[in-house]
């Protein structure tokens, strides 16, 4: 770097909090709560009833996996636009008994009848984002069952009990969820089943504090509790779904449901400052967080200063490079020609880092040599036995495809929108393929002598926000030494596309102007688009937990 560039960068690094004359008043922080500390076990979710249900499991002696699945089922009831058995899930599980980390890929495939040629004949030029054509096999329920079978101590029927009760009796809707519900009215209006189930009098979303019941979902959960997951995967519920979707031009068959299975996978990781960040391997975007971290590891981020223009610029540009590689190389691993290990190798990372312009924003970097919206819940749980689970479940878009099969009580995901119509890449739409996935749980270990120990289970929900959110929260902890809740609260950026980057309100006008001078197009980032984080950290004794004030949820322990 030449002297002129170095001086300019030093100037920009120093104006992180300098007020500008006449600038509008901005909140100084996103903070709203304290870190939760607990001696035995903790659960952090995006909705209080889910956190409470999970905590009750822990208090009865259940483990973290039991609590996570129980909470996930409750969230299907209380946060229906984000999650449920109509979607997919992934998890990273630290088994204290085995002293190892495992990953579970609970995502479904496209239908056997799904072909790009069919969409072309129907006049599609881009992937459908709503309706039956966007629906892939929902893998969440099978994933819940697989987690419990391998590491749980309760049955799936027991895990569903709190959700059945809440769905049957009803609950008061919480404020953030009420807002998300209201934002999805047009999606719900487009489908008779969705309109009937989720809109009050078929016209409006429930308001904050208003009571909502879902007896149809309670009935579906009762059928699953009685007959097991086969009720969905080939049984009566699955058959009803297939019949309805085929009448709408969908691609799924009963056989597609019946042959579905989850996969236990080996997590991928990179080291950083004595710690190691783990992600689920492709077809998810977790590899982008790892690539970002590797690109950034050679810079003195602490000297740049937290959330200064120079610091933000480096993170934003690293994100662009990683996402260019995502689009080009990542999809169903069975169709990837460039292995994940190559994208994280020293040579590849060095070449990518060399493309990072330290003084100027680059709108569209090319991928190195040889994406989608997401409405999601993330939760994490730990227990008195030392187990930890990082868990994510999603419908993709708000209420997914917008399709609710009458009588089922849940929305079906539009994860097929994650495919591309472009030919010749791993993520091209086709039969029996897992689409590119945005939902990613994260886990961090630390070295204790020669042994790797669990340290942090966390995630940041929100589509393409997730990898950049993972990196921002982790750097808050490892580079700037923040308290766990402070690391969650800290204001975030979200790179969108080209040079467009959104900043949360606490970023000063000075920071925004400096980024503009570097070529970034800065816009406002509402809290609803900044991602919702949950996190639990293992202490020498006990646990620390944080829950995002941008959501309705909370961390609770015992």
- Known catalytic residues are 376
Pairing of β 543-547 and β 36-38: antiparallel
What are the beta bridge partners of residue 103? 92, 265
What are the beta bridge partners of residue 444? 277, 456
Which candidate, 549, 546, 517, places its Cα nearest to that of 531? 549
User: Token pair of 455, please?
Assistant: 């340290």
Distance, in Å, from the CA atom of 168 to the CA atom of 77, rounded to the nearest integer, reads 10
Distance, in Å, from the CA atom of 315 to the CA atom of 84, rounded to the nearest integer, reads 33
What are the beta bridge partners of residue 554? 45
Distance, in Å, from the CA atom of 14 to the CA atom of 514, rounded to the nearest integer, reads 11
- Helix (H/G/I), strand (E/B), else coil: 211: strand
Distance, in Å, from the CA atom of 419 to the CA atom of 421, rounded to the nearest integer, reads 7
What are the beta bridge partners of residue 503? 493, 524
Pairing of β 521-524 and β 500-503: parallel
Phi-psi region at 463: left, alpha or beta (left = phi > 0; alpha = psi -120 to 50): left
Asked if residue 477 lies in contact with residue 455, where contact means CB atoms within 8 angstroms, the answer is no
- Report DSSP state, residue 47: S
Distance, in Å, from the CA atom of 470 to the CA atom of 80, rounded to the nearest integer, reads 24
Asked if residue 89 lies in contact with residue 160, where contact means CB atoms within 8 angstroms, the answer is no
CB atoms within 10 A of CB 200: 12
- Helix (H/G/I), strand (E/B), else coil: 188: helix
- Report DSSP state, residue 179: H
Asked if residue 44 lies in contact with residue 71, where contact means CB atoms within 8 angstroms, the answer is no
Distance, in Å, from the CA atom of 23 to the CA atom of 42, rounded to the nearest integer, reads 42
Distance, in Å, from the CA atom of 542 to the CA atom of 530, rounded to the nearest integer, reads 29
For every residue of 242-283, DSSP letters joined together read HHHHHHTT----HHHHHT---EEE--EEEEETTEEEEEPPTT
Which candidate, 524, 511, 510, 498, places its Cα nearest to that of 361? 498
- Helix (H/G/I), strand (E/B), else coil: 145: helix
For every residue of 62-86, DSSP letters joined together read --HHHHHHHHHHHHHHHSTTT-STT
- Helix (H/G/I), strand (E/B), else coil: 523: strand
Distance, in Å, from the CA atom of 104 to the CA atom of 530, rounded to the nearest integer, reads 26
């Amino acid at each position: 770097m030449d002297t002129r560039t170095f001086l300019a960068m030093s100037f920009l690094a120093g104006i992180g909090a300098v007020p500008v004359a006449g600038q509008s008043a901005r909140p100084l922080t996103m903070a709203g709560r304290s870190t939760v500390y607990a001696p035995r076990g903790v659960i952090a979710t995006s909705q209080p009833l889910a956190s409470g249900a999970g905590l009750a499991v822990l208090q009865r002696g259940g483990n973290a996996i039991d609590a996570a699945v129980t909470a996930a089922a409750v969230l299907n009831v209380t946060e229906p636009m984000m999650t449920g058995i109509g979607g997919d899930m992934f998890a990273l599980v630290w088994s204290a008994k085995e002293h190892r980390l495992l990953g579970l890929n609970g995502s479904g495939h496209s239908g056997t009848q799904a072909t790009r040629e069919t969409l072309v004949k129907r006049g599609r030029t881009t992937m459908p984002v709503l309706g039956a054509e966007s629906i892939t096999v929902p893998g969440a329920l099978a994933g819940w069952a697989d987690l419990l079978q391998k590491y749980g101590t309760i049955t799936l029927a027991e895990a569903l009990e709190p959700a059945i009760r809440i769905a049957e009796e009803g609950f008061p809707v919480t404020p953030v969820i009420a807002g998300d519900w209201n934002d999805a009215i047009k999606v719900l209006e487009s489908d008779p089943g969705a309109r009937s189930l989720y809109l009050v009098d078929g016209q409006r979303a429930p308001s904050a504090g208003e009571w909502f019941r879902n007896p149809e979902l309670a009935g579906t959960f009762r059928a699953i509790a009685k007959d097991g997951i086969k009720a969905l995967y080939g049984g009566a519920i699955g058959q009803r779904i297939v019949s309805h979707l085929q009448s709408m031009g969908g691609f799924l068959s009963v056989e597609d449901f019946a042959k579905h299975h989850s996969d236990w996978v080996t997590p991928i990781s990179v080291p950083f400052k004595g710690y190691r960040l783990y992600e689920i391997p492709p077809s998810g975007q977790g590899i982008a967080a790892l690539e970002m971290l590797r690109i950034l590891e050679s810079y003195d981020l602490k000297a740049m200063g937290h959330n200064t223009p120079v610091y933000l610029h480096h993170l934003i540009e690293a994100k662009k490079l990683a996402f260019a590689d995502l689009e080009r190389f990542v999809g169903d691993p069975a169709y990837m020609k460039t292995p994940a290990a190559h994208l994280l190798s020293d040579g590849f990372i060095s070449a990518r880092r060399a493309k990072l312009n330290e003084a100027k924003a680059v709108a569209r970097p090319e991928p190195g040599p040889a994406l989608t919206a997401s409405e999601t819940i993330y939760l994490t749980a730990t227990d008195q036995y030392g187990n930890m689970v990082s868990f994510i479940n999603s419908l993709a878009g708000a209420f997914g495809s917008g399709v609710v099969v009458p009588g089922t009580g849940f929305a079906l995901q539009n994860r097929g929108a994650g495919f591309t119509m472009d030919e010749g890449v791993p993520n091209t739409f086709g039969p029996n393929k897992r689409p590119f996935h945005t939902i990613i749980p994260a886990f961090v270990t630390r070295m204790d002598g020669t042994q790797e120990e669990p340290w942090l289970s966390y995630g940041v929900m929100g589509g393409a926000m997730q990898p950049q959110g993972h990196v921002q929260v982790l750097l808050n902890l490892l580079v700037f030494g923040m308290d766990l809740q402070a690391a969650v609260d800290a204001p975030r950026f979200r790179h969108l596309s080209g040079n467009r980057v959104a900043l949360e309100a606490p970023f000063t006008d000075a920071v925004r102007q400096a980024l503009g001078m570097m070529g970034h197009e800065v816009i406002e980032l509402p809290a609803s688009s900044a991602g919702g984080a949950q996190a639990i950290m293992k202490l020498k004794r006990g646990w620390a937990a944080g829950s995002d004030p941008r959501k309705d949820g909370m961390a609770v322990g015992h």
